[in-house]
């Protein structure tokens, strides 16, 4: 068995000291001399053409230093379907103009002096309505993104359904869910001649640098993006418009500008989990064998595309891959509406798709008289992957999951998750009888698969510095998940030194090399692999330069906590400081495009919930929760468990209480506050157990696989299935609020009478 110095140990988070003492700096904490405050004027209409904007009164207000409107903004795009400012407003809250003034109150006052003439246009706020032929058009190209659905096929569902003894079909819906990161997004911009520095809430400084360069038509090398501590984002802070507006204001004012969104703005103009409607049709044999799966998802991307094309793909992941089946199809309809923009949010579309799939799996199990656990044990995809022939050429890296079969997974611990999770919750044992006659208890489960694969190209730099310290430099951002801690663990392990000895510099487009977004649960895999390779190279270089100093061959030397020593004669040694003094600084850089040509790299898991439903009030309490995950080798157990607990907590909100509500009459977001978009509090958290399958992935760094997002996928089906088990009522629309539960109890009782 491999023994590790630091991998697998719960090393303390790197950022604990600064975050516990108030020293940690977030974007809103950035203060610059002469800094102005910016505010954004937002559209009151869900869809309107902006005919004219009169800013004279605002500009003449003493203390107002800069104004920008769509008519005078630079013409670059911040995204393919989004200029810096546009003459068409596409949702209530869309950016229309912006001002910078000496203080925030003045900026606010200036906004009220801006006169905008709008021509209101027809609008649509519901995705299912939006793809109907006579729907109001949000864009010249139509509401359906690309004009057709994303269709992914393996085999033939017609053949699969022909083989089935029984066919089941159900439709499920999920609402828009705000990410509601506690830190509202902020940006600070400062120009020095032709050079721009931007501090912003971000999950990728290099991606922002490129996007700002394109938007502002400023050479990439003239832009520096510096990531600060992130008050989390869960994926939702991947937009560039705020940074671009701030930069334009700062340029015009000739002074630094800061814009901080209010909480209300963050809810409306941030990014959220896409609302979906999903129909799943499954064919099964009477013995429970799955013969066909066909899922169709209609997804509301809102006013802008953002990462919608990736999210619609992920919503089909469960239907295409979770059950062993030769005949599957997924049709994803990504649809514009005149509502706030969806975006990346923890596990993208996977939770929505899995909610439908894993709820239907329970319906089928019951109809066939098979235990839901047995149904899954019988049908879950195995290590060998899906049946069928490989189509993707073998020389292509499988970074986007192939639809075809015939490609094995690098590792697959799903069965272990099902087995250990079910044991932990005493699956098969009825719940204890609750104390009161109105209370009913039940258990439910859901399993899941998540790509969270290799990620993009990443560069890591490792340095022996002139004072003998060891430093890892990467453009990666720690958005709260802990890569600031895990990356030095990887580097230290590979080098052979203690965790604390590797210093880190993260998230600065000027001083750190390019890393992909902290997104898609890929950071550990991509930047971790680059870090490991850079550490390997640094170790080799150090030993190589030390060999002549110690008058021996490199093969006789090893790295220790203090420096380099002779393996047989440890007294012959040299410290890192002495090495640096003798040969100067040593720097290496490793660029990798991670992935595998031979395997599909996926994470797996199974969640189990025990709930108590009050049939008088409709209130659902989650009593016990078991989260079993295959994320490969766990590099830092404490951080990993924390990720799972946090992901489950967030998605208990998605399942039971959170939803963004848009008034269909006027497009106004009705609940843009923490009071009304109800997130779980400390009193809502159930007793929870986190289990990790004993899997070491052969491809991932030190055997690790994706972990950040998977915890959010299994929650809704596990809880909804437990509610069904408790009260015999199947609720197909999230969130499972007390009023909805009560109404469904009434309605379904009525049906059965």
Partner 1 sequence: MAQEITLTVNGATRTNQVEPRLLLADYLRSVLDLTGTHVGCDTSNCGACTVSLNGDAVKSCTVFAVQADGADVTTLEGLASDDGTLHPIQEGFWEKHGLQCGFCTPGMIMSSLDLLSKNPNPTEAEIREGLSGNLCRCTGYHNIVLAVQFAAEKMNSGS
Active-site amino acid positions: 709
Cβ contact 454:526 at 8 Å:
yes
Helix (H, G, I), strand (E, B) or coil at 674: coil
- How far apart (Å, rounded) are the C-alpha atoms in residues 144 and 131? 6
# residues contacting partner 1 (CB under 8 A):
54
User: Minimum distance from CB of 60 to partner 1 (Å)?
Assistant: 23
Q: Check residue 150 for interaction with partner 1 (CB under 8 A).
A: no
Considering only residues 48, 157, 180, 484, which one is a binding residue for partner 1 as defined by CB under 8 A?
180
DSSP 180-211: --SSPPEEEEEEETTEEEEEE--S-HHHHHHH
Burial class (CB in 10 A: 0-12, 13-18, 19+), 704: buried
Q: Which is nearer to partner 1, 289 or 679 (CB)?
A: 679
Q: Check residue 537 for interaction with partner 1 (CB under 8 A).
A: no
- How far apart (Å, rounded) are the C-alpha atoms in residues 623 and 684? 10
Considering only residues 288, 413, 482, 703, which one is a binding residue for partner 1 as defined by CB under 8 A?
482
Q: Check residue 670 for interaction with partner 1 (CB under 8 A).
A: no
Helix (H, G, I), strand (E, B) or coil at 330: strand
> Which residue, 444, 269, 273, 447, is CA-closest to 347?
273
User: Minimum distance from CB of 484 to partner 1 (Å)?
Assistant: 11
Q: Which is nearer to partner 1, 35 or 723 (CB)?
A: 35
Could you say which DSSP state residue 331 is in?
E
- How far apart (Å, rounded) are the C-alpha atoms in residues 272 and 751? 35
- How far apart (Å, rounded) are the C-alpha atoms in residues 388 and 155? 8
**Structure token pair of residue 584:** 């100067």
Binding residues for partner 1 restricted to 91-120, rule: CB under 8 A: 105
- Determine the interface stretch with partner 1 among 143-151, 182-190, 526-534, 554-562 (rule: CB under 8 A): 182-190
- How far apart (Å, rounded) are the C-alpha atoms in residues 348 and 367? 31
Helix (H, G, I), strand (E, B) or coil at 672: coil
Considering only residues 382, 674, 698, 747, which one is a binding residue for partner 1 as defined by CB under 8 A?
674
User: Minimum distance from CB of 715 to partner 1 (Å)?
Assistant: 11
CB neighbour burial string for 588-608, b if at least 16 within 10 angstroms, e if fewer: bbbebebbbeebbbbbbbbbb
Q: Check residue 62 for interaction with partner 1 (CB under 8 A).
A: no
Q: Check residue 15 for interaction with partner 1 (CB under 8 A).
A: yes
Q: Which is nearer to partner 1, 170 or 645 (CB)?
A: 645
Q: Check residue 417 for interaction with partner 1 (CB under 8 A).
A: no
Helices (H), 555-632: 576-583
Considering only residues 433, 571, 682, 752, which one is a binding residue for partner 1 as defined by CB under 8 A?
682
Burial class (CB in 10 A: 0-12, 13-18, 19+), 142: middle
Q: Which is nearer to partner 1, 563 or 646 (CB)?
A: 646
Considering only residues 374, 562, 589, 645, which one is a binding residue for partner 1 as defined by CB under 8 A?
645
- Determine the interface stretch with partner 1 among 10-18, 118-126, 166-174, 310-318 (rule: CB under 8 A): 10-18
Binding mask 601-640 for partner 1 (x = CB under 8 A): -------------------------------------xx-
Considering only residues 560, 642, 671, 748, which one is a binding residue for partner 1 as defined by CB under 8 A?
642
**Structure token pair of residue 496:** 């052979």
Q: Which is nearer to partner 1, 7 or 535 (CB)?
A: 7
**Would the CA dihedral through 301, 304, 306, 309 be positive or negative?**
positive
Q: Check residue 681 for interaction with partner 1 (CB under 8 A).
A: yes
Considering only residues 235, 283, 646, 667, which one is a binding residue for partner 1 as defined by CB under 8 A?
646
What's the first-to-final CA gap in the chain, in angstroms?
62
Q: Check residue 649 for interaction with partner 1 (CB under 8 A).
A: yes
Chain Cα centroid distance, residue 198: 23
Cβ contact 275:733 at 8 Å:
no
Q: Which is nearer to partner 1, 185 or 566 (CB)?
A: 185
Q: Which is nearer to partner 1, 566 or 677 (CB)?
A: 677
In degrees and rounded to multiples of 5, residue 86 shows phi and psi of: -125, 150
Q: Check residue 234 for interaction with partner 1 (CB under 8 A).
A: yes
User: Minimum distance from CB of 658 to partner 1 (Å)?
Assistant: 11
Binding site for partner 1 (CB under 8 A): 10, 12-13, 15-16, 19-26, 28-29, 31, 105, 179-184, 229-232, 234, 262-263, 479-482, 638-639, 642-643, 645-650, 673-675, 679-683, 685, 688
């Amino acid at each position: 068995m491999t023994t590790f110095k630091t991998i697998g140990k719960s090393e303390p988070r790197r950022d604990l000291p600064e975050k516990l003492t108030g020293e940690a700096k977030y974007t809103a904490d950035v203060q610059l001399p002469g800094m102005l405050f910016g505010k954004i004027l937002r559209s009151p209409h869900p869809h309107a053409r902006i005919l004219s904007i009169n800013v004279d009164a605002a500009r003449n207000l003493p203390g107002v230093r800069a104004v920008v409107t769509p008519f005078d903004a630079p013409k670059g795009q911040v995204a393919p379907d989004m200029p810096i400012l546009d003459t068409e407003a596409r949702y209530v809250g869309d950016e229309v103009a912006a001002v910078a003034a000496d203080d925030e109150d003045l900026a606010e006052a200036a906004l009220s002096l801006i006169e905008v003439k709008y021509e209101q246009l027809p609008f649509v706020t519901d995705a299912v309505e939006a793809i109907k032929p006579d729907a109001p058009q949000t864009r010249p190209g139509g509401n359906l993104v690309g004009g057709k659905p994303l269709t992914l096929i393996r085999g033939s569902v017609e053949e699969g359904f022909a083989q089935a003894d029984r066919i089941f079909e159900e439709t499920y819906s999920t609402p828009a869910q705000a990410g509601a990161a506690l830190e509202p997004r902020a940006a600070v911009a400062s120009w020095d001649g032709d050079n721009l520095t931007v501090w912003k809430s971000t999950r990728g400084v290099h991606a922002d640098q490129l996007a700002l360069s394109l938007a502002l038509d400023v050479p990439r090398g003239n832009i520096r993006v510096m990531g600060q501590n992130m008050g989390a984002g869960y994926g939702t802070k991947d937009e560039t418009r705020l940074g671009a507006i701030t930069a334009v204001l700062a340029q015009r004012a000739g002074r630094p500008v800061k814009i901080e969104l209010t909480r209300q703005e963050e809810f409306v103009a941030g990014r959220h989990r896409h609302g979906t409607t999903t129909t799943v049709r499954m064919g099964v044999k009477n013995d429970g064998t799955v013969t066909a799966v066909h899922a169709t998802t209609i997804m509301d991307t809102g006013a802008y595309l953002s990462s919608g094309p990736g999210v619609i793909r992920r919503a089909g992941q469960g239907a295409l891959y979770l059950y062993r089946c030769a005949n599957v199809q997924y049709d994803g309809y990504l649809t514009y509406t005149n509502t706030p923009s969806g975006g990346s949010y923890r596990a993208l579309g996977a939770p929505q798709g899995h909610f439908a799939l894993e709820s239907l799996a329970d319906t089928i199990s019951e109809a066939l008289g098979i235990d839901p656990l047995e149904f899954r044990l019988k049908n879950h995809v195995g290590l060998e992957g899906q049946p069928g022939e490989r189509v993707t050429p073998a020389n292509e890296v499988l970074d986007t999951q192939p639809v075809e079969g015939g490609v094995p997974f690098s590792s697959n611990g799903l069965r272990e998750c099902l087995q250990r999770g079910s044991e932990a919750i005493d699956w098969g044992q009825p719940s204890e009888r609750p104390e009161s006659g109105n209370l009913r208890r039940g258990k439910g489960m859901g399993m899941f698969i998540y790509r969270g694969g290799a990620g993009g190209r990443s560069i890591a730099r490792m340095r022996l510095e002139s004072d003998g310290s060891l430093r890892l430099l990467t453009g990666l951002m720690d958005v709260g998940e802990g890569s600031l801690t895990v990356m030095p663990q990887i580097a230290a392990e590979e080098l052979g030194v203690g965790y604390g000895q590797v210093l880190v510099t993260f998230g600065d487009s000027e001083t750190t090399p390019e890393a992909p977004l902290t997104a898609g649960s890929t950071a550990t895999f991509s930047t971790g692999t680059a870090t490991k390779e850079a550490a390997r190279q640094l170790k080799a270089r150090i030993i190589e330069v030390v060999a002549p100093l110690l008058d021996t061959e490199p093969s006789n030397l090893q790295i220790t906590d203090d420096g380099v020593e002779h393996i047989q004669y440890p007294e012959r040694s040299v410290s890192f400081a002495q090495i640096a003094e003798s040969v100067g600084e040593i720097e290496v850089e490793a660029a990798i495009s991670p992935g595998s040509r031979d395997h599909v790299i996926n994470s797996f898991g199974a969640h189990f919930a025990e709930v108590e439903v009050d049939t008088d009030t409709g209130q659902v309490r989650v009593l016990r929760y078991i989260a079993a995950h295959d994320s490969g080798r766990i590099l830092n157990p404490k951080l990993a468990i924390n990720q799972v607990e946090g992901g489950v907590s967030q998605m208990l909100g998605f399942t039971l209480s959170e939803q963004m509500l848009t008034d269909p009459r006027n497009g106004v977001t009705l609940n843009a506050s923490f009071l009304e978009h109800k997130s779980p509090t400390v009193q809502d958290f159930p007793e929870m157990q986190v289990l990790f399958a004993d899997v070491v992935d052969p491809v991932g760094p030190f055997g690790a696989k994706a972990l950040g997002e998977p915890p959010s996928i299994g929650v809704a089906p596990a809880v909804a299935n437990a509610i069904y088990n408790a009260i015999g009522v199947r609720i197909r629309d999230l969130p499972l609020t007390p009023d909805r539960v009560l109404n469904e109890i009434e309605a379904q009782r009525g049906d059965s009478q």
